Amino acid sequence: MSFLGGNAAGFGASGRRDDVERLFTADPSVPVSTGAGAAAAPGGGYAPPGSALSPPLGYGGEASSMNTLDEPVWETVKRDLRRIYKNLVMVVFPFKDRSQQSAALRNWDLWGPMIFVLGLAITLSLGAATASKTFSLVFALVSVGAIILTVNVVLLGGTIGFFQSLCLLGYCLFPLDVAAIVCVTTDILLVRWILVPIMVVWSSWASIPFISGAVPANRRALAIYPMVLLYTALGWLALIT
């Protein structure tokens, strides 16, 4: 007895053998017969998944006619900018519905945090006597601090993902970016001392729902305290720059 169960189930039929030979030789001149469970190609043949004849798969495994590799660069940039704007609004401006912040965790990205980290470092370095040292200090402080805070949340039993935590901590730097821009452009100490504490509280207030909701209730203080300390240190750098 044949291992394939005879000609009816194996390669006994000459048509099936020709079909298999055609698939391996990729000869477009030989039509391929369609069988049960096979997808029909435009020419009436079988198109294996991922081949040139099969339609591209979109999200969720569904057929999609859009290929991001073929779209213009400007369309890709606009789509990323729209996502950064939506995540920024949901994270930093949750005045109407704070429950929308969970959508930013599902659609996390690292482009926005990178922009705000670089923006803060560049802005503070513009008003410093040693621009390169200030840029390195701010960039290292934010990057290492965000990684340490993320590891701290994970070790405390947090349910938030590593890159999700980096994403929200980066987006919550936006108020401090505004404070840094104001501090660099004005020499009025009263404005600085009023604005910077407000922005530190704003950044902390925007981050607390994510952090407190990700860790157990008895460990929330251990997760929130170092985060507030990081934002306070960055605010102090904005004041003395």
CB 141 within 8 A of CB 233: yes
- Residues 169, 78 share a domain: yes
Say how many C-beta atoms besides its own lie within 10 A of residue 208's C-beta.
Answer: 16
pLDDT at residue 134 greater than cutoff 70: yes
pLDDT band for position 75 (cuts 50, 70, 90): confident
- Residues 190, 81 share a domain: yes
Last residue of one domain, picked from the residues 35, 67, 99: 67
Length of the chain counted residue by residue: 241
Last residue of one domain, picked from the residues 67, 85, 110: 67
Which domain range does residue 28 map to? Answer: 1-67
pLDDT at residue 63 greater than cutoff 50: no
List the one residue out of 72, 83, 70 whose CA is nearest residue 111.
83
- Residues 113, 54 share a domain: no
- Residues 100, 205 share a domain: yes
pLDDT digits (tens, 9 = 90+) for 162-203: 788 888 888 889 999 999 999 988 888 899 999 999 999 999
Q: How far apart are CA 198 and CA 200, in angstroms?
A: 5
* Count of domains for the chain: 2
Last residue of one domain, picked from the residues 39, 67, 95: 67
The one-letter amino acid code at 107 reads N
DSSP 57: B
Name the range with the highest mean pLDDT among 26-35, 64-73, 158-167. Answer: 158-167
- Residues 215, 98 share a domain: yes
Cα-flanking dihedrals φ and ψ of residue 26, to 5°? 55, 45
Q: Where are the alpha helices (DSSP H) in 107-215?
A: 111-126, 131-155, 162-171, 174-185, 189-214
- Residues 124, 198 share a domain: yes
pLDDT band for position 161 (cuts 50, 70, 90): confident
- Residues 108, 37 share a domain: no
pLDDT band for position 101 (cuts 50, 70, 90): low
List the one residue out of 49, 50, 29, 28 whose CA is nearest residue 39.
49
- Residues 107, 36 share a domain: no
Q: Average pLDDT for residues 87-92, to the nearest whole number?
A: 78
- Residues 31, 78 share a domain: no
How many Cα atoms are found within 13 Å in the side-chain-facing hemisphere of 102?
6
Q: How far apart are CA 4 and CA 10, in angstroms?
A: 5
**Angle ∠(133,135,138) on CA atoms, nearest 5:** 105
Q: Percent of the chain scored above 70 by pLDDT?
A: 65
- Residues 139, 29 share a domain: no
Mean pLDDT of the chain: 73
pLDDT band for position 11 (cuts 50, 70, 90): very low
| Tokens read off for 152 | 């701290």
- Residues 101, 161 share a domain: yes
- Residues 191, 109 share a domain: yes
**Per-residue model confidence (pLDDT) at position 212:** 77
Q: How far apart are CA 159 and CA 161, in angstroms?
A: 7
pTM of the model: 0.64
**Per-residue model confidence (pLDDT) at position 104:** 55
| Tokens read off for 195 | 């604005």
DSSP output for 87-127: HHHHHH--SS-GGGHHHHHHT--SHHHHHHHHHHHHHHHHT
